[in-house]
Amino acid sequence: MTNKAVLYARQSTDIQQSISAQISALVDWNNQNLGAIVVADFKDQFSGKNTHRPGFQSMKTFIKERDIDVLLVWRYDRLARKLSDLVQFLEYCSNLNVKVISITEALSGEKNSFAMDQFQISMLGAWAEYQRKVIKENQQLGFQQKYNEGRIVSSQVPYGYRWIEGELLIDEAEAEIVRKIYRLYYQGTGYSKIAEQLNKKGLLNRHNKKWVVARIQAILKNDFYIGQVTSKYGNKNRHDVPIIPMNLFYEVQSLRKSKHIHKKWVVRRFILRKKLICPYCGSVCTPQHTLNNDKTYYYYRCARTSSDGTSHCKGVNLNAFDIETQVIQLVNDYIHSDVTVKKIKQQIENKNLSIKGKNQQKEKQIQKRQIKVLSRYEKGEITDKQLSESLKNIQKRKQKLKFDPLIPETIVSLLGTHLDVDNNPTVAHFVLYQEIIEKVLLNEKKEITAIYLVGIPYNILKKVDEKNV
């Protein structure tokens, strides 16, 4: 019976142009030595540093789903340069009874020589991994040398610039947007508002993407725009095509810093943190606060709106105390029945049992270490001094163990009382509602439409309505 074969070829860059040569060599070798029927060939133009390559993944699926006998490659490092990836893939092929042959790296060729073949492959893989590391180190040295010579290390330049044939050029259309961002911020416009203004005017980011807060922030703090070249290789180099005047750049940095310093630290416990769902985009609503005339206002706002602006999601703003009061009242109406209280108490008890189990597991791991050390001492494998040092280290580990806290018993007692909270909820209330509430849904009028409790698969508002009927 004639064997069926698959070919695989890989090159790292478009410049090498070696794939066609590899495929040709594989076909010739098969014709001269194996005579198998070549049913498919797979190719990649990617580095071999990992196996996240479309051709490689397609080839894996193909040999799994088809009755394939042989996989031919030019060298084993074409499959993977990392030894662990190569060994894992070879085991994958072995389990499928697919023989992997490198036509330039002959193995033992003996019958029943799988162990020796694996050893040789491992040695070849180790060498390929070593080569990969050397290449990477050489690249790093090359980048460092480029930086030391005052050159720009990478062709990946910031928005507003282009790198063309080794020369740094200003993209005037993008540069004007960068200048606009700096002007708006200096005039008092915040990150989110800047993003919204640009998006509304159709001044999109590179690749036609909408502006988000993070991109605005990145541009406002990037000193490349004043001619400074900063990288992990140093921060002393400069280029001669700045976009932003130096005085404006540093005034903007000072303004950013002042806003950060004056931001008040808030310790309020938002009991519906990560529970409220935005009716427009489905994101969670995150805690926010503002200061006005020395008074602090607390609210929940759509996380996507906060991070990316209203051009990405219209979002909602919810007064924290008002929405918490409404949710708590509805939860109260539901849970004040013997059946529901019992369910929730059981839920909390189960949670505590789980926490205790995890904490005990951590203690057992330390105990196992201690038993292992004592066993080695009894066998004479370690000295008195080594035993003493090992026990000291184990004791230090034990002292550093972080155990997950149990849900306080006071929370269970809360279930039998009125559960209203004030404008600054207690720790017990915060933990209770975080534990029992899964999510709260709203409509565009900011009305609560559904509340789901952990472990209860239905909207409790419907049950509340049934009780009131």
238 or 25, higher pLDDT = 25
Q: What is the chain's length?
A: 469
The separation between CA 369 and the C-alpha centre of its own chain, rounded to angstroms, equals: 33
pLDDT band of residue 338 (cuts 50, 70, 90) is low
Is the pLDDT score of 109 beyond 50?
no
DSSP 8-state class, residue 33: I
Domain range list for the chain: 4-133, 161-261, 276-320
Q: Does the pLDDT of residue 198 top 70, yes or no?
A: yes
Higher pLDDT, 393 or 40: 40
Top-confidence residue, 36 or 355: 36
DSSP annotation of 23 reads H
SS3 7: strand
Per-residue pLDDT band for 4 (boundaries 50, 70, 90) equals very high
Looking at residue 70, its pLDDT comes to 93
Is residue 461 pLDDT above 90, yes or no?
A: no
pTM metric for this prediction: 0.43
Average of per-residue pLDDT across 66-87: 84
State the fold for domain 161-261: Hect, E3 ligase catalytic domain fold (3.90.1750)
pLDDT per residue as tens digits for the range 199-255: 888 888 877 888 888 889 989 988 888 877 765 544 556 677 888 998 999 999 998
Q: Which helix (H) or strand (E) holds 290?
A: strand 285-292
Whole-number pLDDT of residue 249: 92
Question: What residues contact 461, with CB distance under 8 A and at least 6 apart?
Answer: 330, 448, 449, 450, 451
Which residue is listed with tokens 């980048």? 143
Q: pLDDT by residue (tens digit) across 416-431?
A: 555 666 777 877 788 8
Name the CA radius of gyration of the chain, rounded: 32
Percent of the chain with pLDDT over 90: 21
Q: Over the stretch 147-181, which tens digit does the pLDDT of each residue have?
A: 454 555 445 678 888 878 777 788 899 999 999 99
**Dist. CA 61–CA 55, nearest whole Å:** 10
| Nearest by Cα to 5 from 46, 35, 44, 45 | 35
CB 280 within 8 A of CB 316: yes
From CA 47, how far away is CA 136, in angstroms rounded? 12
Residue 74's identity, in one-letter code, is: W
Residue type, 318: L
In this structure, which topology does domain 4-133 adopt according to CATH? Rossmann fold (3.40.50)
Judge if 4-133 and 161-261 fold alike in CATH terms.
no
97-101, 139-143, 393-397: range with highest mean pLDDT: 97-101
Catalogue the E-assigned strands of 57-202: 70-73, 99-102, 161-164, 167-170
Mean pLDDT of 39-62: 89
φ and ψ of 463, to 5 deg:
-70, -40
Return the H-helix or E-strand segment holding 38.
Answer: strand 37-45
Taking the C-alpha atoms of residue 211 and residue 196, their distance in angstroms, rounded to an integer, is 8
Output 4 or 115, whichever has higher pLDDT: 4
Whole-angstrom distance, CA of residue 123 vs CA of residue 102: 14
Residue, of 291 and 53, whose pLDDT is higher: 53
